[in-house]
Structures are given as C-alpha cells and as structure tokens.
C-alpha cells in the first residue's frame, strides 16, 4: 500500500490528477514486482539511435512489407487467434490495468475488442502469488515462460523511426507483429517462445538502448491488444468513486503481421 500512500501524499484538496497516476499506484500496490534474472543497466544510446534512424520506414511502407496482406484489417479477435492459436490457452486481458484477470481463450471470445490490454505470454494458472505472498490475478508466477517479447518505444521518436527500430530488432528475435498503441507509440511483438530468459533480457537491453520502455522485461506486463479499441479516460478527482471515460476512442491498428513468426503449440 506504500505506493498508494505515496500518491495520496501528493494530493491537495480539490486537485485533479491524471488517471495514469492512480493506475500506476494501484499497479505497484497489487501486482507483482518485476522478477528478472538480472538487473538491466542498459541506457539509451544516442549514436545507436541515430544510426538505426536511417532505417526509418513510413507506416504505409511497413504495411506493404507485411507478409500478411492488408494487416490493418486484422481485428482484435483475429489477432488473438493468430498470436495464440490454442483454444485451451490461458490469457490475461483487461480494460484497465487494475481489473486484469486470467481466463481461458473461450472466455474472451467476442470480447477481445473491448479489452485493450493483454499480457503477451501464456499463463499456466488463473492466479498466482506475488513476491510478497499475496494471491493475484496477474503476477509473474503465472507466466514462467515467455511467449512474446513486446517492445514499446516511449522516447518521442516518430512512428517511422520506431518502425525502423522494430525491423532492426527483428534481426535478433523474429518480428511477429507491429500495432499502434492508440497514442504515440508502436507496440512491436517478437517471438520469444523457447528462448533462454537471459537471451530475452539481453534483447531488451538492445531495445532499451534504442529508446524502448523497460516495462516489457516484466513477464506479467500488460501490453496493447492488437486491433482492440483504446478508450481514453477523462479526469479523475479525489472525491470520485468511479472513473469517467470519454466517448472517443482509437483503434490499436495492426500495421505488420508475419504469421510464420507467430507462436504455435509446437514451440
């Protein structure tokens, strides 16, 4: 609860604060702490970014390069089926971070477009225990192995630069899918099934040096559901008991998909 108390300490009577502040505090309070084999010391490397920036690819060109024709037509239901082609798969999805839970593939059928967040790894159980020993509906214990490594660039680079970085990282792990976050970044999915965890973390070190967010290193991290709708929240006041969402939303459109690099039960 320390995370929530820290946030509360920043509040003033009548002050409005961003929904993300609440979301981050609740996530830190209830979700598992990142469990990694080693601590990353990777940092953004400007020269490396500049070199890879020469490979920038416009979104239209990226869609043309996609082995799956017209990837922008892939719906959330299609995306989940293509990424996790197993009717018995246990998947963790959410409309909001704090409301994430794990259920069978059948449970999510026809609801995928409403759940803009998805853990990119197959779960082995409905619940698990956090490092603090608390029962959780989303924690690292449920995801002992990687299915995908998802990279999000949050350094303000253009979409074209981000796409170029994704293609560059595809030389290390197979690039499966690229989708828009519904805001300012791309979420790039790489096949990681069967890879040694240290190798995946080394992959993230390279991605971080190019401007990627570190959160992907955490196995239970929620990422954007390809093809789903992202609804932007409105303001949240201290006195309110519910979250008010704006009527507008944006689709987390797929711009690239390579079926050959998708997970199968044989991995």
For residue 266, is it within any domain? no
pLDDT 10s digits, 93-140: 999 999 999 999 999 999 999 999 999 999 999 999 998 999 999 999
For residue 142, is it within any domain? yes
Helix (H, G, I), strand (E, B) or coil at 156: coil
Helices (H), the chain: 2-8, 19-30, 46-53, 59-65, 76-83, 105-108, 159-169, 197-209
Predicted confidence at residue 13, as pLDDT, reads 43
For residue 93, is it within any domain? yes
Helix (H, G, I), strand (E, B) or coil at 149: strand
Identify the residue with better confidence: 235 or 87.
87
What pTM did the predictor assign? 0.79
For residue 182, is it within any domain? yes
For residue 205, is it within any domain? yes
Q: Which two tokens stand for residue 108?
A: 């999510």
pLDDT 10s digits, 176-187: 999 998 788 999
For residue 257, is it within any domain? yes
For residue 267, is it within any domain? no
Instruction: Identify the domain containing residue 249 by its residue range.
Output: 2-34+42-261
Q: How many domains, the chain?
A: 1
């Amino acid at each position: 609860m320390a995370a929530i108390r820290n946030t509360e300490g920043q509040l003033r009577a009548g002050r409005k604060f961003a929904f993300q502040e609440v979301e981050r505090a609740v996530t830190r309070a209830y979700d598992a702490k990142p469990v990694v084999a080693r601590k990353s010391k990777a940092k953004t490397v400007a020269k490396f970014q500049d070199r890879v920036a020469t490979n920038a690819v416009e979104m239209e060109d990226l869609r043309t390069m996609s082995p799956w024709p017209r990837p922008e037509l892939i719906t959330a239901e299609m995306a989940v089926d293509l990424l996790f082609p197993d009717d018995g798969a246990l998947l963790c999805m959410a409309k909001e971070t704090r409301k994430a839970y794990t259920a069978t593939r059948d449970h999510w059928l026809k609801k995928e477009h409403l759940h803009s967040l998805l853990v990119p790894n197959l779960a082995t159980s409905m619940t698990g225990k956090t490092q603090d020993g608390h029962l959780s509906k989303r924690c690292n214990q449920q995801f002992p192995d990687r299915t995908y490594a998802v990279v999000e660039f949050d350094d303000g680079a253009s979409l074209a630069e981000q796409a170029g970085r994704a293609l560059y990282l595809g030389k290390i792990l197979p690039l499966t899918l690229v989708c828009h976050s519904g805001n300012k970044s791309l979420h790039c999915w790489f096949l990681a099934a069967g890879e040694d965890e240290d190798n995946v973390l080394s992959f993230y070190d390279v991605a971080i040096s190019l401007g990627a967010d570190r959160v992907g290193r955490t196995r239970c991290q929620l990422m954007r559901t390809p093809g789903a709708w992202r609804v932007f929240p409105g303001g949240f006041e201290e006195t309110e008991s519910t979250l008010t969402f704006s009527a507008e939303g944006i689709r987390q459109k797929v711009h690239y998909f390579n079926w050959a690099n998708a997970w199968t039960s044989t991995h």
